[in-house]
Chains A and B, each alone.
Chain A
Amino acid sequence: MRDRDYHLGISAYYHDSAAALVRDGVPVAAAQEERFTRRRHDSSFPANAVRFCLAEAGIGLSDLASVTYYERPDLKFRRTLSSFASAGPRAIGAFGRIAPDWFGWKRDALAVVDGELATLGLGTAPKARAIEHHRSHAASAFFPSPFESAAVLCIDGVGEWHTTTIWHGKGSALELVNSVSYPHSLGLLYSAFTSFCGFKVDSGEYKLMGLAPYGEPRYADLIRREIIALRPDGSFTLALDKFEFLRGERMIGEAFASLFGGPARDPESKLTQRECDIAASIQAVTDEAVLGLARAAKEMTGEDALCMAGGVALNCVSNGHVSRSGLFSRLWVQPAAGDAGCALGAALDTAITGTGRRVPAQPDAMKGAYLGPDFSDEEIVAYLEEAGHAHQRMPEEDLLDAVSRHLEQGAVVGWFQGRMEFGPRALGARSILGDPRNTEMQRTMNLKIKYRESFRPFAPSVLEEDAAEYFEVREESPYMLVVSPVAEAIRVGPTPRRSLGAINEVRSTLPSITHVDLSARVQTVTEARSPRYARLLRRFKALTGCPVLVNTSFNVRGEPIVCTPQEAYRCFMRTEMDVLVLGSCLLVKAEQAPLVEDVDWRAEIPLD
């Protein structure tokens, strides 16, 4: 009989399926299913992620104390029915498409989870239980945080009924204080605007956020007047006559479009100043709404620390405003703030509130979000040699020297180290790196590496001890979830123009990571959390005087972040990256044989 207490959490069947394993109240493994199946935002049962989590701990399903599903299907079913009961005759078609699945299996998703686990051949799992969606988010935000007590704010599209919740976390207890319920949802509001500006819902929201600084918030008053009512007490409601999502087919229609002088932008068509201004406007309103909710959380709990989760907590611009407002002395955002993180929250909630035992709050129970699979140097070398890929295995000192020199010379470097990150951000384990001082780096990376829209900004990693010299950061930011202004001392030139024409203007001494509004989405790096990455930054600093690197995720547009050395090599060869580092092995593009593929990968990977 094992003397450890293992709890498995699962999120599945909507978007961003994931599995997470907690041991004695502490996360030990977590991964999104998309990283294994290579299908972005994969919603299928996370069989691969479950296998990984169990293998990482060296256990089987029979060793688990619990399996917890991240939401209550019964409540979600009732909300779905209630929603259609307010939709009218026009929604009958959508109901006919959606309802059979609900009556068929979705109401009983727990039994489906039990069945899926039984097919894994890894023993017999305890029967799955469920907790509420927002409780999963709240647990993912509070229990790994460094706080003994805190206010917890969760904002998303919708769980079962709740779209916004405020919790009070104290020790091993998590108490719901208040909520806003469907259909009044900040997440659905932001997604509606995402759709209107021609981006994909549930994957394009951060593009809208990145577009906002190119515009002026000239529609913000209109949005407050016609679309969302923000109240002094922090709550809000949507003017539902402007939306179509109640009828299940699409987010918005004519009533919405007429407010902005014309139809929605066609996906992949040219962006105009209208979309930039709309993005700026909804971002301004969202910032205000989130600040109002943060104020309410402060009033309702009296706490000095705030934890956040839910998809809207990935809006790092809003998070930056909360951080700088001074409402709270500390802010901690769950790195996997979306639904994947609910798998972790579900496991933590059962482990901690179920037992009443919480380990004393640690500085970083998320372990830098490095909770995914890793590959030893021996495994990497075995793969490279079997495949015949030219490489050099080096001691770390030589490796860091070589990589720093390449970066300094303008190379784009694929950096694959240690355990894969959990959550949407690359944090130095599965990253593509570049020199932020290079004026061409943003254009090069967008067009030749990521193959994505040219307006998209890149984000910096900086040694924590040097962060204040380059950015107006209030506190550590290890998960790249808070946007901060670049420091005055590094700004150059006149006040930047806020238009698409200003994309390639130089605004600071770190042009590749300085967005058009002089902001940056900063990752502060320490040796305690990211040892080798911190040492690379130190070596780059010793060579160049600059302790900052461009850090973007290791993938091309539309595909999940790479997981294995094989995927990293393939991405390296499909793009114009110059150098690839796999563990202790260095590969140079010029030394590689051309990649021969029998698939047209650009046609295979759907655009996001």
Chain B
Amino acid sequence: MLHSLCLLLYVLVLLPIWAVRRLTGGSRFGRRFHAAPSAWDRPVVRVAPVTVSSRTKGR
């Protein structure tokens, strides 16, 4: 019974949402997000430029 209800939920609710998201391309699952300049959830405000120590080791 629960399994059937879940399938019904999928067809009646989740699939339509999928269709709308596909049309608008607006969610973080879409191609437009992949092309955006940043993926941070909050806009990035630069605090200070990073200076890296010259003491680096390894290859």
Contact = CB atoms under 8 A, between A and B. Distances in A.
Interface in B38-59: 38-42, 44, 46-50, 52-59
Given A86-B18, A92-B11, A184-B28, 19 more contacts: A84-B14, A87-B14, A95-B6, A95-B14, A96-B3, A99-B9, A177-B42, A181-B41, A233-B40, A233-B44, A239-B34, A296-B44, A298-B50, A299-B50, A300-B44, A326-B56, A329-B53, A485-B59, A518-B59
Interface in A145-195: 162, 177-184
A226 to B, nearest CB: 11
Contacts of A120: none
A180 B39 contact: yes
Nearest to A161: B41
A72 interface: no
Interface residues of A, number: 56
Nearest to B21: A86
Contacts of A241: 31
Given A95-B7, A237-B33, A302-B47, A485 B41 contact: no
Contacts of A104: 2
A300 B38 CA distance: 15
A99 B27 CA distance: 22
A517 B59 CA distance: 10
Nearest to B46: A299
Interface centre among A238, A300, A329, A518 (most CB of B within 10 A): A300
Contact of B34 (A177, A240, A321, A518): A240
Nearest to A518: B59
A474 B37 CA distance: 35
Nearest to A81: B14
A85 interface: yes
Interface of B: 2-3, 5-7, 9-11, 13-15, 17-18, 21-22, 27-31, 33-34, 36-42, 44, 46-50, 52-59
Contacts of B49: 299
Contacts of A95: 6-7, 10, 14
Interface centre among B9, B29, B36 (most CB of A within 10 A): B29
Nearest to A301: B47
A299 B48 contact: yes
Interface string A237-255: 1111100001000000000
B42 A179 contact: yes
Given A88-B15, A181-B28, A472 B58 contact: yes
B6 A100 contact: yes
A87 B27 CA distance: 12
Given A326-B54, A485-B59, A85 B14 contact: yes
Contact of B39 (A84, A100, A177, A236): A236
A507 to B, nearest CB: 14
A29 B12 CA distance: 48
Interface string A78-98: 000101111111001001100
Contacts of B38: 231, 233, 235
Nearest to B37: A231
A182 B28 CA distance: 8
A233 B46 CA distance: 9
A179 B47 contact: no
Contact of A320 (B9, B17, B30, B58): B58
Nearest to A83: B29
B56 A178 contact: no
Nearest to A94: B10
B29 to A, nearest CB: 4
Contact of A88 (B18, B42, B53): B18
B10 A96 contact: yes
A131 interface: no
B6 A295 contact: no
A298 B6 CA distance: 45
Contacts of B3: 96, 100
Contacts of B13: 85
16 contacts: A86-B18, A89-B15, A95-B10, A99-B9, A178-B42, A179-B42, A231-B37, A235-B38, A235-B44, A240-B34, A241-B31, A299-B47, A325-B52, A327-B50, A474-B57, A485-B57
Interface string A311-335: 0000000001100111101000000
A484 interface: yes
A217 to B, nearest CB: 13
- 8 tightest A-B CB contacts, nearest first: A326-B53, A86-B29, A235-B39, A99-B6, A85-B17, A324-B58, A85-B14, A179-B41
A85 B18 contact: yes
A160 to B, nearest CB: 13
